[in-house]
Amino acid sequence: MTTELIPGDPAPEEPDGQDSTSEDLVVDDFARIGPYRVVQQLGEGGMGVVHLALDQRGRAVAVKVLRPHVAHDEDARARLAREVATLARVRSPRVAPVFDADLDGDQPYIVTRYVPGPSLDAHVKEHGTLSAEELLRLGRGLAEALRSLHEIGVVHRDLKPGNVLLVDGDPVLIDFGIAHDADASRMTMTGLVMGTPGYLSPEIIEGAEVDAATDWWGWAATLVFAASGHPPFGRGGMEAVLSRVTRGDVDLTGVDPRLAPLLYAALTPDTARRPHADEVLEALETYAKGHPVTEALPQRARAMPGSEPTSVVPAAPQTSVLPAVAPAPAPRPEPAPSVAPRPTPQPPAHQPYSPQAYASQQLAPQPAPHQLDPSPQAWPGTTPSSREGDPRIGLPRRTGVLLGLLAAVVGGAAVAPLLTAVVVLVGSALARLVDRSMTSTVMRRYQHGRRRSDGAVAAAKSPLHLVVAVVGALAAMLLPLAVGASTLLLVSVAFSLLAVDVGPDHPAGLALAGLMTALVVWWGPGSASLRRGTRSIARSLTGSPAARTGITLALWALGVVLLGLALSAGFPSTWWPLVESPLPDTTWLPAR
């Protein structure tokens, strides 16, 4: 690609709050990009900059240009090529189409339809939350866009307010840089954070396969943002946000109380309790008409934790009550999406978006640096098999290995409870360190692309990650230890009532306390990082089937042997490194 400067053209003014000197790309650098004349900068990110430009006939287009520091990065170019291939296949007025692209030049770019409207987050910031009718139009329009993608096997994977533009109240979906093709190899290091925390479903955070459920979850979360004016799972560190997602701790402050149960149900971690996409749309239509929303919801989606039962106000004679929605169809063998589309989409009640309204922007054939092929293509010089694999998303979760690890922990708790607790604490800190290090690297590459300094930066941040991991592990152990102590107490009371003359440190009680402690460590507050890191370690140690089978059998054998030794006569539990048991005697317990 040849960059041509137009002498005498005035440089566009810098948008408020943006620094045009950021890193290595400014608007002045490219008064002309290929055959397109730059008018002004529309937005920027770590990977590229989007400009408003005019084609040779004076029609407005949007030109996305990779930043120079990532322009020669193979992964960045592959992502751009994938975006072009994806957009070339989509036929929907709710998705900005691609017109042109240059993927081979020194400064790769793609050209899409210019959407003359603000992003959803900018609109909400300036005008406040959406009204009931606007929320319904948003939900319908985005559902139409998602269905057009899913019909061709594409998952957007980053549906959020910043990627939704509004044109006269109707949404247009943009930014397909990390879209996932079900038939293509993954090209991101980890899908977990190749997306926006707070708009990723709990299943994806836990390592499930990327599918349509990812988009429907982001759809529901985007609706919550539009109705409340703030992110559904709050702000702060990524780990805190992801933890709220997995717990279902959605912030519905500012949402109309009549609508809150619907949106809460759409974002519950329990997939069986989530309403269908069309059920949500039907309820939104009911809400827009001023009718009680709960009458349009299935029973499973009506209750919120801690909420009072909803009383249905009798309808006025002239008001017709909507019929109850039929139960969702029986689950299919494949995982159900977060909010799944029905085969027959709901017909929109408002005037649909017309592609003729932007017919004047369709570019006539012109000498293009790169002719688009509607089928996905691999980046020149690479093959799908050479792409870096995804270490967490969609890979085996190593459940058998983890169950073996649980058995070893239970056996260890029966034999040496204090030493086992220390080992669990160290393992928890190590897993959190692995997770934080991997996530930090991926986030940095997502924002700035792959760089030679990645290794040095990761090493420099390791001490900080270690401190945070240790503190997190210590804090997360408080509740599990309390649960374990309570279990020991209950077992001691049970033995006393049964007139069984054993002490509080009987191996059976210690094993049960160890089991309860381990379960709370794994599923308790702040455990998402632990689970991700543990699975990453397990996958790295059990790469081959033989290693996986051997380690799994060894862990199970260790647990069974330790528990058997502890329960056998003459093999008391040890509290090493302590000299004797720290537990009190049980003489004060009631006897039968």
Binding-site residues for ATP sit at 64
Which residue type does 85 have? A
Containing 98, the helix (H) or strand (E) segment is strand 98-102
- State the Cα torsion 22-24-26-28 to the nearest 10°: 150
Tokens of 478: 């408080």
Give the up-direction half-sphere exposure of residue 221: CA atoms within 13 A in the CB hemisphere. 33
Closest CA to 4 of 26, 48, 27, 35: 35
Tokens of 429: 């800190």
Q: Report the distance separating Cα 546 and Cα 242, nearest Å.
A: 34
The full length of the chain comes to 592
Q: Decide if 50 contacts 94 (C-beta within 8 A).
A: no
Residue among 73, 158, 211, 215 flagged as catalytic: 158
Q: How far is CA 72 from the centre of its chain?
A: 28
Tokens of 9: 């053209």
Containing 64, the helix (H) or strand (E) segment is strand 60-66
Q: Report the distance separating Cα 420 and Cα 562, nearest Å.
A: 12
Closest CA to 37 of 18, 51, 25: 51
Q: Is 158 a catalytic residue?
A: yes
Q: Decide if 473 contacts 429 (C-beta within 8 A).
A: yes
H-assigned helices in 44-158: 68-71, 74-89, 120-127, 132-150
Give the up-direction half-sphere exposure of residue 133: CA atoms within 13 A in the CB hemisphere. 6
**Binding site, annotated residues:** 64
Q: Report the distance separating Cα 586 and Cα 416, nearest Å.
A: 20
Tokens of 357: 């309204």
Which residue numbers are catalytic?
158
